[in-house]
Structure 1
Amino acid sequence: MDDPTTDTDAVLAAVGPRLRALRNQRDITLSDLSETTGISVSTLSRLESGQRRPTLEQLLPLASAYRVQLDDLVGAPRTGDPRVVLRPTKRHGLTFIPLTGRAGGLQAYKMILPVAPDTPVPELRTHEGYEWLYVLDGRLRLILGDRDLILTPGEAAEFDTHVPHWLGASGPHPAEVLALFGKQGERAHLRTGPRP
């Protein structure tokens, strides 16, 4: 089991070099910093060299003087940010916006499917996994094996991706789809009401 005291010591030991680097980047003398913060030159020097452990009373004015967050000054680990960073990618003409950040397991995407050219039978694809689709906007054409389906907003479909399939917008506008994709054997279930 990790010793939290050791972790704290390591964090505080790294503050000195960080303080010195900030002061050098900003081309500030110890005397100028002392005037700004009210901390003596000798204390600032000992903090930068690691001969003295910083206290909160010292770190707050230093963070203010350098105009940095206190977390950045001490190198605190980032807390989990619940927001999903949406970095769209394009594949096979489709735009995928990932809605999950972890690797493996069930993956969620918002997909934007462009208006498809009028092709009687587009090229069907297969791959490993299982997919669940929910139409948010537009009309989705789903060709699944020998079935040719049109799904409208609010409709969902799920299928084994070993079955040859193709997705595209049907109509004059792109289709927006929420997609859950999992490795083979993982299935998503949509329940619209209580079980009998």
Structure 2
Amino acid sequence: MNRPGRLITLDGPGGVGKSTTLAALAAHLRQHGAPVHTTAEPSDNRLGRFTRAHADHIRGHALACLVAADRYHHIETEIRPRLDAAQDVLCDRYLASTLVVQRLDGVPEPFLLDLNADVLLPDLAVLLTAAPATIRQRLTTRGAHHRFEQDPETPAREVRLYEQAARTLERMKVPVLVLDTTEATPSETAERIAEQAPPYADTVIDSHTRPDDPR
């Protein structure tokens, strides 16, 4: 299947600068003539807003199902139409975040992969990381956005789980770019991403490609 636009996703622990980097990347691509649409998950539709509002109270497998349902709806109503209209879609959180945040909530990876077996895979999955101490300091300054960020041990666990998520995505033949933001500015990080973004191609990865069981 062909699609004119590129799907670039940005994931990583809270406090690594995903939102600011995404904004810088969008500005950089637009300066170079690329039509860009920015979005985020949970999405801004009613299902996504419900998910965001109740994520501190709905847990485990139920939350994983809700996140996946929002993703499928997000793809159908926003992401795929934008890609088909030859726009680059930049998404703040996507599949990699599911493979980390829902595992923090006790959901095993094989269940998550099955639940997301038919989602659109990114043309480039960017995983931002930083030293756990840096993340903790940033979260203290910024404040926690959800219950997962309230645990001081979460940054170190997230960093490890994102390393595992990168390997899982690579087994799924998804191009993965891991960038450390401990010292880099959002603008510097955005330039690195733009340099590594895949060229517009005639073919894309089969969304049904699955990794070997990592266990």
> For the pair shown, which has the larger CA radius of gyration, 1 or 2?
1
- From the two aligned structures, give the one with the greater strand fraction: 1
Is the TM value for this pair above 0.5? no
Interval of TM-score (by shorter of Structure 1 and Structure 2): under 0.3
- From the two aligned structures, give the one with the greater helix fraction: 2
**Structure of higher RCO (CA pairs closer than 8 Å, 6+ residues apart):** 2
